[in-house]
Amino acid sequence: MKPNPKNLAVAAFLVSAMAGAQAADPAVFDGTTGTLSLPVLQIDNARYFNVVIKLLDAGVLKAGDPAVVGEDNQFLSNGNLLLVPRLALGKDIFTQVSLGNPSFSLVSYGGVVTNPPFTGVGSTGHLLDVRVTAVSTAQNPITLVNVTRPMSQQEFCSDASLRLPITQSQQQSALAGNWTVKACTFNVIEGTGAIAMTLSVSGLALPYSATYVYH
């Protein structure tokens, strides 16, 4: 695949700018495909994770822009401004990058970031991806931010807040019944877990489950 001249122009501009200090999880620009991958992107009042957009036109591109503050990638629809605190191009990291009036299309995104309660005593500051299946129907994935990673299966399975994504997944329906935990596992090394529950309603046992991945 031949690089798009516009993508090469973006890459050339960034190379000519001063690189900032390296930090974890920057946005990543691929000059060959013209795609920008953002671990988390805030769009006005909503936050999304694993966002990939294709830049059609970078617009007014600046590096070292003092308007870029904080740690979050942001797109301000009022003003059409994309703010990227840290941007990786190859092995280089650039800071305070802004794109004014860019044109882009959405390629994909992982889900919506939420902040429900979470408890525990393990290492803190993790992301937790949760995927719930309600009666064989997969729900929209969510991500919990700045959570504590459990240090054992017992700690994971005894944390009632981890069951909230399951029990709250049916709040929009008219179902009301009793919840029972049927199975719970957690791999401490890999940081992955699973919980299976049933909702007993009028003599029926409806299956619900969720998988958990810590990052």
Q: What is the DSSP string of 112-123?
A: EEE------SS-
Q: Are 95 and 85 in contact (CB under 8 A)?
A: yes
Residue 185 predicted with pLDDT over 70: yes
- pLDDT tens for each residue of 200-215: 887 888 899 999 998 8
Task: Let me know whether 168 and 101 are in one domain.
Answer: no
- The two three-digit tokens of residue 43, written as one number: 């769009």
Residue 18 confidence class, pLDDT cut points 50, 70, 90: very low
Query: Does 117 share its domain with 159?
Result: yes
Which residues, 6 or more positions from 147, have their beta carbon under 8 angstroms from its beta carbon?
Answer: 118, 120, 124, 126, 127, 128, 214
pTM, to two decimals: 0.47
Average pLDDT over residues 122-149: 82
Q: Which residues pair with 205 in a beta bridge?
A: 200
Last residue of a domain, one of 108, 125, 142: 108
Same domain, 78 and 128: no
Q: Of the residues 82, 108, 134, which one is the last residue of a structural domain? A: 108
171 with 97, same domain? Answer: no
Q: Is the domain of 44 the same as that of 93? A: yes
Q: Are residues 62 and 101 in the same domain?
A: yes
Q: How many domains does the chain have?
A: 2
Mean local confidence (pLDDT), 116-123: 46
Question: What is the domain extent for residue 178?
Answer: 111-214
Same domain, 96 and 120: no
Share of the chain above pLDDT 70, in %: 79
pLDDT at res. 35: 93
Q: How far apart, in whole angstroms, are the C-alpha atoms of residue 138 and residue 37?
A: 25
